[in-house]
Structure 1
Amino acid sequence: MLERELIQNHGVRNVVVDGQVTGFQFRLRMPNYRGVWGSLIDGVDVVVDGVGFDRELPRWTLQGREFSIQQLRLTATEVRWQLDELATITVPHHGGLAVGVHDLAVDIAIHAPYIPAEFQPSLFHSERKVTILP
């Protein structure tokens, strides 16, 4: 079940690859009133405890497939972020996040083909406290 907030409370965790913590993950709900093609997603700016991560850095998992933002923009014309689907955002960050409570803020950037180019992308902002468990 989707939570009302864009940043979902469940799914926040550190990513471990071959015994090393390589980053962290969280889940986002679609911010618009309808789904959007992957090629119209323009990234997500992530800020954790005042430290920012560039919009180009996070990887997106949609429909069970992982994409860089460049892959979404250029080749993901068959992938949609549906209204009822969570996107998993993976942020590469050596060591991940410390165990405990963190302030997480995002600005999701999405293009809408029916809005003039000079007003693009549309930004959807959300902030939430999240917890990393041991």
Structure 2
Amino acid sequence: MFDAYIISDDGFRNVSKDGKVIGFEYKARLNYYRGIPLSMVDKYELKVNNEPIDRSKIKFSVGEDWFTLDEMETVTKVKWEFGETASVFVEQDGGLPQGAHDLSVEQVLRIAYFPFPLRATITKTLELVG
């Protein structure tokens, strides 16, 4: 539905903790016109520069709380609303080098009244600066 919008142009950055770069983050949107609980995100796969990212390295946040993709399967009280940007953090020592990077996302949602999963895929080039 809204595949072209699921990777935001804003918020792509390396993340530091205690002076050390521990990973990178980008912003993501829902590919559906209504909000859903995080437990209805059936699948979320990420590739960076055509290299798959292990799902255990990905954490997801809508608001203040962070969840692994496995934890999201049981999160029914946190809703991801249409138009709301979620933060996606990837644990990776040293983060990513500055410059252009291709992010590829496959997002599959389970919608209660759809007889099939709602699948979106997109690849977008983002520029990591600073």
TM-score normalised by length of structure 1: 0.86
**Percentage of matched positions with identical amino acids:** 29
CA distance in 2, matches of 1:55, 1:41: 13
SS in 1 for 2:10: coil
Structure 1 CA distance for aligned equivalents of residues 87 and 58 of structure 2: 10
SS state at 2:72 partner: helix
Residue 124 of structure 1 aligns with which residue?
120
CA contact (8 A) 2:6 2:28 kept: yes
CA contact (8 A) 2:35 2:82 kept: yes
- Equivalent residue of 1:130, what SS? strand
Q: Which residue of 2 aligns with 1:46?
A: 46
Q: State TM-score, norm by structure 2.
A: 0.88
| More off after superposition, 52-61 vs 82-91 | 52-61
Deviation at 1:55, TM superposition (A): 3.7
What are structure 1's unaligned runs of at least 5 residues?
Answer: none
In the alignment, the residues of structure 2 paired with residue 20 and residue 43 of structure 1 have an alpha-carbon distance, to the nearest angstrom, of 30
Unpaired stretches in structure 2, ≥5 consecutive residues? none
1:3-18 correspondence runs (5 A) = 5-18=5-18
**In structure 2, C-alpha distance between the alignment counterparts of 1:60 and 1:12, rounded to whole Å:** 14
Q: Establish whether residue 73 from structure 1 lines up as the match of residue 69 from structure 2.
A: no
- Matched ranges for 1:1-134 at <5 A: 5-74=5-74, 76-116=75-115, 119-120=116-117, 122-134=118-130
Deviation at 1:72, TM superposition (A): 1.5
Per-residue deviation, 1:81: 0.3
> How many residues of Structure 1 are paired with residues of Structure 2 in the alignment?
127
Q: Does the C-alpha gap of structure 1 residues 54 and 110 become closer, same or farther in structure 2, counting only changes over 3 Å?
A: farther
Closer, same or farther: CA 18–43 of 1 in aligned 2, 3 Å: farther
